[in-house]
């Protein structure tokens, strides 16, 4: 059953499963202090019908049919969906590797953007948004209903690269690159924003021995996560040349479980939109030359061992 309790942090996860999104969902399910109000999906790692089906598939497999999934935007706000690398990293259907049973629970009929607006307007508690794909749904909801920002407690985004190179171009990280206009809207929203960027996700990777630890735990969820990571490691070695898994998105959930998992620093960040060489780059005003107010907590350091322990412990609960 879904956890409900006034003490729990109320979250909505907006995602594009995707292997690391799927593990982020499983971590949030297993976390003792989080209540997942709903899951919204967006086109990113794969087409929307795949990311939606994959979210439903992983929730049903984990035994959580009562966590609702709402399908959202099938393309970025102003651009075509970038299709070059999603399938290379995540497989043709966005969740390559283990053959999970097809989902049985229907996806909700309400559009994810309308669900976000309705839920943020109706809630008494402020809600944490965890965004692990392109920010299209979140930006669209903010544009359609600016008042919802008042009920957003914080937005935790997997995206960007401040000191690290990008992973889709040398300047840009995938989620921001796919929909930079949406990212610019969210960065300019005034909401409290935590940017879990490649600067930390690439320093908290799972290696083969960590995957074996998960597999040897024997628990149904632990074993399927190991199998997802087997696939993820293979595509990473082929595309990036290293056999390891940056479980990027799960770190966004991890900081709600252990707030000192990542060390942040507040600064002003903006998104490059126009030059083909830099579009999607997240640029931090580290020397304060813009005079702009800080709008984002950027990730400076991560405790990899703590993250590996967290994933292993939660995947056998
Ligand atoms: O750059 C990594 C991000 O892009 C992750 O969220 C991954 O799932 C992909 O969406
Ligand atoms: Ca993702």
How far is the C-alpha of 30 from the C-alpha of 167, rounded, in Å? 29
Q: What is the pLDDT of residues 10-62, one digit of tens each?
A: 999 999 999 999 999 999 999 999 999 999 999 999 999 999 999 999 999 99
For residue 45 and ligand 1, the question of a CB distance below 6 A is answered with yes
For residue 21 and ligand 1, the question of a CB distance below 6 A is answered with yes
Residue 280 pLDDT level (bands cut at 50, 70, 90): very high
For residue 157, the cross-strand partners are 131, 195
Say which of 19, 90, 236, 248 is annotated catalytic: 248
For residue 167 and ligand 1, the question of a CB distance below 6 A is answered with yes
For residue 197 and ligand 1, the question of a CB distance below 6 A is answered with no
25-to-96, 124, 141, 247, 288 alpha-carbon distances in Å:
17, 24, 22, 12, 36
How far is the C-alpha of 267 from the C-alpha of 284, rounded, in Å? 7
Name the residue with higher pLDDT: 127 or 85: 127
Give the single-character DSSP code of 171: S
Q: What is the pLDDT of residue 3?
A: 62
Residue 6 pLDDT level (bands cut at 50, 70, 90): confident
Residue 248: active-site member: yes
296-to-41, 138, 190, 196, 243 alpha-carbon distances in Å:
24, 16, 9, 10, 32
Query: Which residues have beta carbons under 5 A from ligand 2 (an ion)?
Result: 16, 18, 21, 132-133, 249
Residue 243 pLDDT level (bands cut at 50, 70, 90): confident
CA angle 6, 11, 14 (to 5 degrees): 165
How far is the C-alpha of 85 from the C-alpha of 276, rounded, in Å? 17
pTM: 0.97
Q: What is the pLDDT of residue 4?
A: 62
End-to-end CA distance of the chain: 14
Q: Which atom of ligand 1 is nearest to the CA of 16?
A: 10
The domains of the chain, with CATH numbers, are 9-315 (3.90.245.10)
For residue 14 and ligand 1, the question of a CB distance below 6 A is answered with no
Residues 193 and 159 sit within 8 Å (Cβ to Cβ):
no
Identify the residue whose C-alpha is closest to ligand 1 atom 2: 174
Is the predicted pLDDT of residue 1 greater than 90, yes or no? Answer: no
Whole-number Å distance, alpha carbon 134 to ligand 1 midpoint, is: 8
Name the residue with higher pLDDT: 228 or 241: 228
Ligand number with the minimum distance to the CA of 179:
1
Residue 63 pLDDT level (bands cut at 50, 70, 90): very high
Q: Which atom of ligand 1 is nearest to the CA of 44?
A: 10
Percent of the chain with pLDDT over 70: 98
How far is the C-alpha of 22 from the C-alpha of 89, rounded, in Å? 14
Whole-number Å distance, alpha carbon 316 to ligand 1 midpoint, is: 24
For residue 41 and ligand 1, the question of a CB distance below 6 A is answered with no
Counting ligand 1 atoms within 8 A of each CB, the residue from 24, 176, 248, 253 with the most, and so the one to mutate, is 248
Let me know if 147 is exposed, middle or buried by CB neighbors in 10 A (0-12, 13-18, 19+).
exposed
Q: What is the pLDDT of residue 84?
A: 82
E strands, the chain, are: 9-15, 34-41, 69-71, 127-131, 152-158, 193-196, 262-267, 269-271, 282-284, 296-302
Whole-number Å distance, alpha carbon 205 to ligand 1 midpoint, is: 14
For residue 249 and ligand 1, the question of a CB distance below 6 A is answered with yes
């Amino acid at each position: 059953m879904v956890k409900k309790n006034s003490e729990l942090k109320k979250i909505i996860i907006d995602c594009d499963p995707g292997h690391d999104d799927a593990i982020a969902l499983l971590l949030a399910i297993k976390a003792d202090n989080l209540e997942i109000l709903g899951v919204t999906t967006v086109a990113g790692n794969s087409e929307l019908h795949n990311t939606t089906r994959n979210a439903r598939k992983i929730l049903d497999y984990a035994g959580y049919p009562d966590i609702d999934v709402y399908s959202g935007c099938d393309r970025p706000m102003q651009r075509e969906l970038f299709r070059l690398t999603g399938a290379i990293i995540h497989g043709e259907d966005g969740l390559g590797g283990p053959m999970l049973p097809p989902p049985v629970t229907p996806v909700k009929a309400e559009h994810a953007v309308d669900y976000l607006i309705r839920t943020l307007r109706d809630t008494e508690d402020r809600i944490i948004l965890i965004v692990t794909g392109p920010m299209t749904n979140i930006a669209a909801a903010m544009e359609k209903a600016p008042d919802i920002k008042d009920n957003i407690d914080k937005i935790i985004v997997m995206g960007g690269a401040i000191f690290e190179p990008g992973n889709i171009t040398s300047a840009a990280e995938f989620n921001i690159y796919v929909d930079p206009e949406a990212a610019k809207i969210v960065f300019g929203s005034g909401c409290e924003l935590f940017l879990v960027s490649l600067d930390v996700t690439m320093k908290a990777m799972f290696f083969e021995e960590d995957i074996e630890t998960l597999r040897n735990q024997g628990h149904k969820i632990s074993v399927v996560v190991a199998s997802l990571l087997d696939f993820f490691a293979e595509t990473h070695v082929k595309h990036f040349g290293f056999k390891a898994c940056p479980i990027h998105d799960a770190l966004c959930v991890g900081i709600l479980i252990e707030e000192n998992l990542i060390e942040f620093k507040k600064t002003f960040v903006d998104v490059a939109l126009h030059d083909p060489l830099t579009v999607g780059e997240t640029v931090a005003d580290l020397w304060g030359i813009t005079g702009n107010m800080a709008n984002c907590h950027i990730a400076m350091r991560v405790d990899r061992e703590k993250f590996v322990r967290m994933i292993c412990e939660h995947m056998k609960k």
